[in-house]
Chain A
Amino acid sequence: MTAQPTDIATYNFAYLDEQTKRMIRRAILKGIAIPGYQVPFASREMPMPYGWGTGGVQVTASIIGPDDVLKVIDQGADDTTNAVSIRAFFKKVANVTVTTDTATASIIQTRHRIPEHPLTAGQVLVYQVPIPEPLRFLEPRETETRKMHALEEYGLMHVKLYEDIAKHGRIATTYAYPVKVEGRYVMDPSPTPKFDNPKMHRSPALQLFGAGREKRIYAVPPFTDVVSLDFEDHPFEVQTFDQPCALCAAENVYLDEVILDDHGGHMFVCSDTDHCEKRREEGHRGHLAPETHLAPANMEPAQ
Chain B
Amino acid sequence: MTDEPLLRVSALSKFYGSRVGCDNVSFDLWPGEVLAVVGESGSGKTTLLNCLSTRLLPSSGTASYRMRDGQFRELYRMSEAERRFLMRTDWGFVHQNPADGLRMTVSAGANVGERLMAVGDRHYGKIRATAVDWLSRVEIEEDRIDDEPRAFSGGMRQRLQIARNLVTGPRLVFMDEPTGGLDVSVQARLLDLLRGLVTDLGLAAIVVTHDLAVARLLSQRMMVMKDGRVVESGLTDRVLDDPRAPYTQLLVSSILQV
Contact = CB atoms under 8 A, between A and B. Distances in A.
Interface stretch (B17-25, B30-38, B40-48, B111-119): B111-119
A300 interface: no
Interface residues of B, number: 24
Contacts, number: 54
B110 A159 contact: yes
B122 interface: yes
Nearest to A234: B124
B149 interface: no
Tell me what chain B mostly uses at the interface: helix, strand, loop, or mixed: helix
B38 to A, nearest CB: 33
B122 A162 contact: no
Interface stretch (A69-77, A150-158, A199-207, A273-281): A150-158
Contact of A156 (B118, B123, B125): B118
B114 A233 contact: no
22 contacts: A153-B84, A155-B88, A155-B116, A155-B117, A156-B118, A158-B117, A158-B122, A159-B110, A162-B124, A162-B127, A166-B107, A166-B109, A166-B146, A167-B107, A167-B146, A230-B122, A231-B122, A231-B123, A231-B124, A232-B122, A232-B123, A233-B123
Given A159-B103, A166-B145, A167-B107, 16 more contacts: A147-B80, A151-B81, A155-B115, A156-B117, A159-B117, A162-B109, A162-B127, A163-B106, A163-B110, A165-B124, A166-B107, A166-B109, A166-B128, A166-B146, A230-B122, A233-B125
A169 to B, nearest CB: 11
B107 A163 contact: yes
Contacts of B117: 155-156, 158-159, 162
Interface of B: 80-81, 84, 88, 103, 106-107, 109-110, 113-119, 122-125, 127-128, 145-146
Contact of B110 (A153, A166, A232): A166
A108 to B, nearest CB: 34
Contacts of B118: 153, 155-156
Contact of A151 (B84, B113, B127, B146): B84
Contacts of B145: 166
Contacts of A159: 103, 106, 110, 113-114, 117
